[in-house]
């Protein structure tokens, strides 16, 4: 390979790296805008929440459908995700304020390597968080909702229908907007 070819390949590789970095940054950045919402008026049919099995803090199997009857905020997260850490205080605030009115279901993507139970327990204790935790140890829950980036939140009404979704970190206002949609059933 001559020098010009090597230089050209280096430039192309560098440009590709920049493009990938931009997409990665946009996927991981902290977004405080309103959640990207699916409104029932825009859909031909209501979207039923996909049921799945998760583990509670005592390692008991529970299903998402066990929580139907009240609005639900379903949130997929990990402790190593900066955006997940940023939004956690808002989930705690809402849980303390609305714990009896809304199910806050924070599903930790526990893989046993990068995300361990010990790491999650330390995170919760260090931050004095009391919201209930659930664990996806098989990837079933994340797969059911096509989770590609975290945090990822799904707002579900009391009848078990999806009324909105948000990709990226939610601030307090965004979380409240999603809960209002879940309460209204969109």
Domain boundaries, the chain: 1-29, 31-184
Task: Specify the pTM.
Answer: 0.76
Inter-residue contact 140 to 52 (CB < 8 Å): yes
Whether the per-residue pLDDT at 3 is higher than 90: the answer is no
The predicted-structure confidence for 9-62, as pLDDT tens digits, reads as follows 556 555 544 544 444 444 444 333 444 444 444 445 789 999 999 999 999 999
**Polymer length in residues for the chain:** 186
Residues 136, 53, 140, 166: is their CA dihedral positive or negative?
Answer: negative
Q: Which of 143, 160, 153 is nearest to 46 (CA)?
A: 160
d(CA 39, CA 34): 13
d(CA 53, CA 56): 10
Give the architecture-level CATH label for domain 31-184.
3-Layer(aba) Sandwich (3.40)
Q: Which of 128, 137, 138, 136 is nearest to 152 (CA)?
A: 136
């Amino acid at each position: 390979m001559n020098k010009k070819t090597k230089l050209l390949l280096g430039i192309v590789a560098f440009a590709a790296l920049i493009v990938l970095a931009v997409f990665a940054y946009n996927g991981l950045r902290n977004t405080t805008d309103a959640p990207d919402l699916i409104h029932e008026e825009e859909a031909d049919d209501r979207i039923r929440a996909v049921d799945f099995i998760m583990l509670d803090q005592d390692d008991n199997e529970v299903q998402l459908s066990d929580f139907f009857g009240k609005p639900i905020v379903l949130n997929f997260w990990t402790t190593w995700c900066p955006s997940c850490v940023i939004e956690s205080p808002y989930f705690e605030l809402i849980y303390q304020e609305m714990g009896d009115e809304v199910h806050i279901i924070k599903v930790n993507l526990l893989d046993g390597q990068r995300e361990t139970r010990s790491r999650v327990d330390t995170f919760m204790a260090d931050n004095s968080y009391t919201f209930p935790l659930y664990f996806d140890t098989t990837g079933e829950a994340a797969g059911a909702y096509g989770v590609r980036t975290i945090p990822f939140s799904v707002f579900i009404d009391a009848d078990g229908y999806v009324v909105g979704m948000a990709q990226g970190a939610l601030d307090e206002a965004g979380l409240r907007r999603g809960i209002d949609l879940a309460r209204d059933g969109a």
